[in-house]
Structure 1
């Protein structure tokens, strides 16, 4: 077993957390991720992503086969359980993720780092489109938050959604400001000049 302080993927941490509740098979884990809306924070768009993560966790000794359940049709379902090593890894990963900001490489920050190679008018128009998309995403997130309040869900089950709301509002405010500066001319640049004055190698 590796001693890494962070999981190989957020999905691995979520799967271990589900198995900390009780042993279960892969299909149930995948269904719980979707019904609990955890697919907002882990990528399960590919149908085999859960199964691939389970195989890695099994290989690393973090989970083990608990039992095989006969199915009405098709092969038996394999029920997995958390191992002591898996429980320790989950706690270690959670401690690290809660305490230390990860060095992440989001696509949006990457394009901002090279945006000077294109013209400010194009950047303004594309960011204006991003404003619209962020407004839609924020409105949907606020509706979901209101629904959760109506259901009386405990706040601890909604912390990732609170974080989503905060980050959406912050990004929306920042992008709106950049678009306004591009429209007013407070932010502008000459692409050829930027390319000519690039830092030395």
Structure 2
């Protein structure tokens, strides 16, 4: 298993047996859907994969006259072991990820310096807005009595945003330097002349 949604299902079932619809509702209510992308179809598919793997099992089928039959799933002993092993690995071992911004940075030199500065300025403003929204939401949730550990991923997001904001601010200043602007124009203007021949 390598699907974050599968991990979320196992974690939800650690507390109590649930129907997939309830699992999805809890992901949304707790804001975990910001970190774990899913839709109803993918959730049911993951539940079936976990059942086939023996990590969860059908506990009961609930019949309600107002709704169709609903199957409630529970975590198996094998599922508890899988959840524990998976969490230990994710928390302890850093893994290189391939964010889109990293790709853009690796190719940033193709943009004319003033264009790059303008675009990074837009990014900086968007990062500021995102950080403000996360701070407001986190504060509001804590005021409702939610234990801080259930919001730790939001604190992580804020720390990453703060680091990126500092990085982008420094990068903007570096791109504005006359030495860089001159070197960029020498390289690309010369390359353009060669290409036009």
Q: Which residue of 1 aligns with 2:195?
A: none
Matches within 5 A, 1:1-201: 7-44=1-38, 46-185=39-178, 187-188=180-181, 189-190=184-185, 192=188
| Offset from partner CA, 1:54-96 (integer Å, 9 cap, x none) | 1221222211111111133453111111111111110000000
Q: CA deviation at 1:170?
A: 1.0
Flag the structure with higher helix content.
2
- Change over 3 Å in CA distance of 1:176–1:87 after alignment to 2: same
Counterpart CA distance in 2 for 1:8 and 1:194 is 48
Higher relative contact order (CA 8 A, sep 6+): 1
Counterpart CA distance in 2 for 1:195 and 1:145 is 50
User: Does the CA-based 8 Å contact 1:117-1:194 persist in structure 2?
Assistant: no
Give the total of aligned pairs: 189
TM-score by structure 1 length?
0.84
Q: CA deviation at 1:107?
A: 1.1
Computed over aligned residues only, the root mean square deviation of the Cα atoms, in angstroms, reads: 2.2
Runs of 4+ in 1 over 6 A off after TM superposition: 193-196
Counterpart CA distance in 1 for 2:172 and 2:160 is 18
Counterpart CA distance in 2 for 1:195 and 1:78 is 65
Gaps of 5+ in 1: 1-6, 197-201
Q: CA deviation at 1:14?
A: 1.0
Counterpart CA distance in 1 for 2:191 and 2:153 is 41
Gaps of 5+ in 2: 193-197
Structure with greater Cα Rg: 2
TM-score by structure 2 length?
0.86
